[in-house]
Amino acid sequence: MGRMEGRNEINFGNATILALGKAFPHQLVMQEFLVDGYFKNTNCDDPELKQRLTRLCKTTTVKTRYVVMSEEILKKYPELAVEGLPTVKQRLDICNAAVTEMAIEASQSCIKKWGRPISDITHVVYVSSSEARLPGGDLYLAKGLGLSPETKRVMLYFAGCSGGVAGLRVAKDIAENNPGSRVLLATSETTIIGFKPPSVDRPYDLVGVALFGDGAGAMIIGSNPIRDIERPLFELHTAIQHFLPDTEKIIDGRLTEEGISFKLERELPQIIEDNIEGFCDKLISISGINDREYNKLFWAVHPGGPAILNRLEKKLDLSPEKLSASRRALADYGNASSNTIVYVLEYMLEEKKDITDWGLILAFGPGITFEGILTKNLTI
């Protein structure tokens, strides 16, 4: 399509994704059992709230999720299930350790697939909206992996659902401006930072209970892959970011004495629908593609929720299979915030029958911020 045709040819100098990895906590939650378990663990018996959560669990299309939260944690910290208690210290104690453990595991999996020594990693980009500490999780990840103290680190905190693609954009810039570098991008998230009992005063909290999951993701990014050693998956051609003025309250998160409080406004899917076509057209036009045949592209979209995917599909008139990897990731892992784009890309590679030469990696987060990368598939 357009002047950028070419199959499986690498543009040397452009960053490529060289490997993917993921990790999860041990606790698997089946969506059909979530409602009873959540209300039992929070000692709530409000039938109206229970009915509302039951409906939400069906509409989110999530089937399974992994979570750090467990009965053991609630026995040790029963105050986490009580309304209004200052529990941010306890939450951060749990979250800081959990996200580091998952990030290390995902990174080790990724490095193993990459096939080069861990000592060849020159940079780390670490993304999380689930911890807060000094030094940050980037240092604990580097230490846990046994990276050189000379490894250069960048940390992105509280970028929310767009964090994974924002981190990929930063890793791309680092790789392309530091010849020979190899960048480890790691993302790690847990919902414990915002776990709360149900409340009639916060009905929007139930959306998060029905939708969000925990886990970690990792990628290795570098330019000029070494033939016969590295196996590039995607070339990252062009990356852009755009925030929508005066929408900063649509995705609102605050760190309080009770942990993080999130509020998602109902108009979020509509705002994304109203702006997605212009954003994608800008990304495509910057890159030199001279038509807008969206169904000739593959679409790796962060699955913020089914309403966002449905509206994007309708607005751009995409064939249903174009978002199948995003829908599959949402069903299997929930919205795992910054991690989820890794799971989408893995499923996309599995579903090779639907992946074309060129595509877009997209995510939407607080701001409202749009992140997009024009990407070339190198596996076909």
Q: Which residues are catalytic?
A: 161
Q: Are strands 358-365 and 369-377 parallel, antiparallel or unpaired?
A: antiparallel
Residue of 12, 14, 20, 50 whose CA lies nearest to 34: 50
The strand ranges marked E within the chain are: 15-23, 27-30, 64-67, 123-128, 152-157, 183-189, 215-223, 234-243, 251-256, 259-264, 298-301, 358-365, 369-377
Other CB atoms within 10 Å distance of the CB of residue 44? 15
HSE value, Cβ hemisphere, 13 Å, CA-based, for 6: 10
List strand residue ranges (DSSP E) for 224-331, in order: 234-243, 251-256, 259-264, 298-301
Q: Which residue has the tokens 């309250």?
A: 249
How long a stretch of residues is the chain?
A: 380
Q: How many CB atoms lie within 10 A of CB 169?
A: 24
Sign, CA dihedral 118-152-361-237, equals negative
Strands 64-67 and 123-128, by their bridges, are unpaired
